[in-house]
Structure 1
């Protein structure tokens, strides 16, 4: 928890300490692809003697699906911007809704200032709704960073392609006992665990600046 608080405090401190000259607000949206990396295990135990007659199978997998985002923020000057993002992603394991706070530093690529490279940090909250009723929905802290290229079409419109990495903090477990219908028969208990380690996004967005 201390590490998470330090990360969030660092992002907020960076935002506050950034220059506040000639602020321009913007709104926008984007679409892209998100890859979620999961891992977990399935343990089967004999009810009458758990721990002795048990078998555990570990697994890991990645899910690739679309991600959609809406965002709004402000250019503090030509080199600094801060913004909030709402994003939605769904795969075979869970639905995700994220609220993120981000800071980017922009570097002009050329004298025209139309093309910019950006790099920055992100922290926020991710709400995960598992597709199975055996696990509960939860809100989890996420943090990471992003980089990409922004192109200024005119004074009001810009577009960008970016890559974002988010470290996730989601763990879930569920157990159920399977009892055969025959009286006196030995039952088994099945315990499943799953965790979401990280997410990677590749996105294309368009912003309106005013």
Structure 2
């Protein structure tokens, strides 16, 4: 728990210091593939493991602190057969140029935030949980205003929810989320 608080405090303090160091702001969107691994326990049936796959959508806004560092906030939405999920993330990426022109960059970074999960079956309450993880990918600067990237993000989730209906009880848990996405950003 202390680690989660330290990661979140570090990301918040980085975001709070942006106005003093601001260079290039950006806004963008992404779409991609998301895989969630659920575990279901029920008094009427044995334990089941479900892997749900669907499209995820993201909106993000951030700042390039310099040529090698960026921070950004992301809102994401995903709806699969089991649940609806909204994510609110703060992320930091370290960028490494893959040439003298600085057109292509490799990036790796850390992410922390909150996810709002809602199981679609009746009887289950929606719940907010802390999430954390990381991302990596390739970014291409099309020109001074536009860039695009392809990336992979892993989010560790500790989502557990229970419901009971008389003698029957059931629980869902979501351990992790994996995303592969394509993004386009506009710098201003």
For this structure pair, what is the TM-score category when the shorter chain's length is used for normalisation?
over 0.9
Q: Which residue of 2 aligns with 1:204?
A: 182
Does 2:102 correspond to 1:124? no
Instruction: Note if 1:70 corresponds to 2:80.
Output: no
Contact 1:35 1:63 in 2 (8 A): yes
Q: Tell which structure's C-alpha radius of gyration is larger.
A: 1
> How far off is 1:190 after superposition?
1.3
- Structure 2 residue ranges without an equivalent (≥5): none
Distance in structure 2 (CA, Å) of the matches to 1:11 and 1:21: 15
Match of 2:138 among 128, 149, 156: 149
Q: 2:86 aligns with which of 97, 109, 118?
A: 97
- Which residue does the alignment assign to 1:184? none
Q: Unpaired runs of 5+ in structure 1?
A: 45-55, 178-188
- After superposing the two structures, state which structure 1 stretch, 70-79 or 21-30, moved more: 21-30
Partner of 1:7: 7
Per-residue Cα deviation, 1:94-129 (whole angstroms, up to 9, x for no partner): 100111000000000011100000000000111112
Total equivalences in the alignment: 187
Give, in angstroms, the shift of residue 22 of structure 1.
6.0
Asked whether the equivalents of residues 11 and 121 of structure 1 are also in contact (C-alpha less than 8 Å), the reply is no
Query: Cα 1:22–1:130, aligned 2, differ >3 Å: closer, same or farther?
Result: closer
**For the aligned residues, what is the CA RMSD?**
1.7
Partner of 1:48: none
TM superposition shift of 1:10: 3.6
Supply the distance in 2 between the matched residues of 1:14 and 1:21 (Cα, whole angstroms).
10
C-alpha separation between the residues in 2 aligned to 1:143 and 1:152? Answer: 27
1:145–1:58 CA distance, 2 compared to 1 (3 A): same
Kindly provide the CA deviation profile for residues 69-91 of structure 1, in whole angstroms up to 9, marking residues without a partner as x: 00000001000000000000001
Identify the residue that residue 74 of structure 2 maps to in structure 1: 85
Aligned to 2:160: 171
| Equivalent residue for 1:191, pick from 169, 174, 179 | 169
